Homo-oligomer: A and B are copies of this chain.
Amino acid sequence: MIPHGTVEVQTGCAHIDLCGGGVINLGELGEFGLIGALESWLPSGPTVLTGIGDDAAVLVAPDGRVVATTDFLLEGRHFRRDWSSSSDVGHKAAARSLADVAAMGARPTGLLVALAAPADLAVSWIRGFTQGLAAECARAGASVAGGDTSRATSVLLAVTGLGDLSGLGPVLRSGARPGDVVAVAGTLGRAAAGLALLTAGLTAPGSLVRAQLRPSPPYDAGPEAARLGATSMIDVSDGLLADLGHIADASDVLVDVSSAAVKDPLIRTHCGDTAELSCVLTGGEDHSLVATFPVGVDLPPRWKLIGSVRSGHGVTVDGKPYPGPPGWDHFRG
């Protein structure tokens, strides 16, 4: 929502009054008006040395290395404008990339956001979107540092997350060793349960629906895991079994998950027994962090033990193969 009062945006030679002057969509605002608005709506923090408005951003990288990841959020595929508020979309866009940064054990520093949209998209939608982006970046300690704008027939987003390793090695997918324990920080399956509820036309309970619309990754658990000596880590975006499968493949180990440890009574209550197990094992988009640690590491309470690493290949549940697809494949799904 555009705040009451007048927002004056400097756009080259002209000032555009976004509230009083009748500028209501992107076609009227124009590309350079939009860039000016984004600049005023997304103030940069201490990690950003040169922010929105130049050819590129400049961010701090005190470690001498930079962690970088990029992700699409495409309307109709990753979000629906009739389900998600513009602020929800901003939160989700930031979370999707910044969780990947945290999953390397890095501290998020910045976000670049490429936005393509129809010319008739309301400027108020963009305003809400930037509020969600900024709020989620603030949760992670990062700022929006730059981006790109273009025109498209639907809202297309590509978000790039950047981060700093603070002197530690990146936590890769390839370091899990037989004997390690598997632990997760954050929820499992709630985003998938929320999607199932929305698909059924329901909007409650809020805690499940919100998990789908506005995931809330535990960013600081990423650097925490690195400090604790995590041997591998990944964010749960495709589904727990699929993502643990990436660790199993990269580390050449077998990962076994305890179904009792991952069950979630809230999901069971609202979605039933069968959906509960399917959601927690194969539902993505919670953007929680799952990591392996050497036995004996004293894990803080938010890290919940859910399994173990053994010699072998692939992922099992309670020692047995899971009889279904482990997660999402964009081209086959």
Contact = CB atoms under 8 A, between A and B. Distances in A.
A66 B113 CA distance: 16
A148 interface: yes
Interface in A95-142: 100-101, 103-104, 106, 110, 112-114, 116, 119
Nearest to A234: B55
A150 B157 CA distance: 12
Nearest to A106: B56
Contact of A59 (B65, B233, B329): B65
A56 B103 contact: yes
Given A26-B331, A32-B329, A332-B27, A58 B66 contact: yes
A7 interface: no
B147 A12 contact: no
A62 B61 CA distance: 9
Given A64-B62, A72-B150, A74-B152, A55 B173 contact: yes
Chain copies in the assembled complex? 2
A161 interface: yes
Contacts of A34: 331
Given A13-B249, A55-B69, A69-B55, A330 B151 contact: yes
Interface residues of A, number: 77
A55 B106 CA distance: 11
A26 B174 CA distance: 26
Interface string A152-182: 1000101011110100001011100000000
Contact of A66 (B30, B66, B150): B66
A313 B10 CA distance: 14
Nearest to A242: B32
Contacts of A174: 54
Scoring A65, A106, A331 by chain B CB atoms within 10 A of each residue's CB, the highest score goes to: A331
Given A53-B250, A106-B56, A150-B72, A331 B66 contact: no
Contacts of A101: 55-56
Interface of A: 12-13, 26-27, 29-32, 34, 49-50, 53-72, 74, 77-78, 100-101, 103-104, 106, 110, 112-114, 116, 119, 145-152, 156, 158, 160-163, 165, 170, 172-174, 233-235, 245, 249-250, 313-314, 329-333
28 contacts: A12-B249, A13-B313, A26-B331, A27-B331, A27-B332, A30-B329, A53-B173, A53-B250, A54-B250, A55-B69, A55-B103, A56-B163, A57-B68, A58-B170, A60-B65, A61-B66, A64-B64, A68-B68, A68-B145, A70-B113, A70-B148, A70-B158, A71-B148, A74-B152, A112-B160, A114-B158, A149-B331, A151-B333
